[in-house]
Each structure stands twice: as structure tokens, then as C-alpha cells.
Amino acid sequence: MLSACDISRLVPRRPIFIWDMNSQYSKIAALNLEKSLSKFRGDVNIAPFAYLFVEMVRYSMRNVPNMDCVQRRLAEFGRHVGERMVDVVYVREKPQKRDTRLYNSLMFLKSTFWKSIFGKEADELEQDGGDKNTYYLIEHEPVVNRFTRFVFDEKEAVPLNTAAFNCGIVEAFLTNTGYPCTVTVTWYKGTAYVIKFDPIVAARERQLEGK
């Protein structure tokens, strides 16, 4: 007569599967990080974006004496975005190489970097005719200006250029990739981001050219 222990040995056991959440999550995260941003679209619905952006502009207009202060606040918000996007876009698209020449970095900013954020490249890139340390990154119609219009003071004829937010993005990208600068916004060919580089950038360019 078989004992209970003997019977238990004869009954086939159901295999036990152990789901390692940490291992699976790590693999999925690694695969996502390896994906190129240029191979898929990450569109954001314009309605919630516009709502959040308008609220941010209204917040920036509180308790400030003039329009310049509003634009500085907006640029500060944009700077936080730019600092994070440098890691997401620049490091992922060029993991083994960092541009050491200013022109290449500006073209990367105008094309790949700008497209990854706004879905299209910036329209133009110009160098100032009188100051070689100054460049203009131009957008004919920035996304942030498309559905918003603010006037800081009703007496002022010039509306607030809310694309000052993008100035922070540009400044963060260039500064964090080794090109210290200050960026302001102006109404020129639509909207232009005026990039004034630190003199050390021009000195380094001359050194790389062997001059």
C-alpha cells in the first residue's frame, strides 16, 4: 500500500513561474533608452499644452514691474526643460561623440534638437554682421505664440513675446554642451532668439582652427 508521501511523488507537479519585476522593468527601460527619438513621434495634444502654457505665462506676469521681468521668468522655466532635454536628445542621438565646433552644435540645435521638442526644425540661423559672437535662431511662427497673445501693459503697442520661454531652452542646451551664452528674444522675421556667446567660445574656435 502506497503512503501519502509516495502518492505525492507520483502526481506531476505544475511548474512554478516566478516573475522578476525588477529584471523585466530594467530590460524594458533599457530598450526605451536605446530608441532613437527620430524614429517615432511623441505628439502632445495642443489643447492641454496651450492651457498649461497660458497658466504659466499668467503666473509669470504676477507682481513684476515690467515686461523684461516676465520674459526672464519664462526663460527660467524653459531653462529647466532644456537642461533635461540635453540628456534625452543630445546624449541619445550622439552617445559616442560630442561636437567641439560651434557651427556643428548650432546646426544640431536648429535641426535635431528643435524637432525633437517642437516637431519641426527652426526656420533660419544667422550670424550678426557686426558681432561675430552673436547669432540669431529664427522661427517664423513659434508654437508657443500660435494660440496665445498677451500684453503686459495696455499702453504698450508691442505684445509680450511668450517665446522667451524658448530662450531658456536654447541657453540651457548651448551652455550645457560647452558654449556659455546668454539668449534673449526679439521680434525679427517672426521671432528671433538672440544668442550672445561668451568671448571664450570665439577664442576656443580660433584655437581649433589653428589661428
The distance in angstroms from the start CA to the end CA of the chain is: 99
**pLDDT reading at 199 higher than 90:** yes
Residues in the chain, total: 211
Q: What is the pLDDT of residues 26-64, one digit of tens each?
A: 555 555 555 554 454 555 677 777 888 888 888 888 888
pLDDT for position 30: 56
pLDDT for position 53: 85
Q: Give residue 94's region: left, alpha or beta (phi > 0; psi -120 to 50).
A: beta
CA angle 159, 161, 162 (to 5 degrees): 125
**pLDDT reading at 147 higher than 80:** no
Cβ-based neighbour number of residue 16 at 10 Å: 5
Distance CA 19, CA 195 (A): 52
**pLDDT reading at 211 higher than 80:** no
For residues 158 and 187, the answer to whether their CB atoms sit within 8 Å is: yes
Q: What is the pTM of this model?
A: 0.75
**pLDDT reading at 25 higher than 60:** no
> For the residues 7-36, what does the mean pLDDT come to?
51
> For the residues 147-169, what does the mean pLDDT come to?
78
Confidence band for 209, pLDDT divided at 50, 70 and 90 = confident
Distance CA 69, CA 42 (A): 32
Confidence band for 179, pLDDT divided at 50, 70 and 90 = very high
pLDDT for position 87: 80
**pLDDT reading at 14 higher than 90:** no
**pLDDT reading at 2 higher than 70:** no
Strand pairing partners for 95? none
Distance CA 160, CA 95 (A): 38
**pLDDT reading at 97 higher than 50:** yes
Confidence band for 156, pLDDT divided at 50, 70 and 90 = low
Closest residue by Cα to residue 181 from 124, 134, 131: 134
Domains of the chain: 46-148+158-210 (3.30.1380.20)
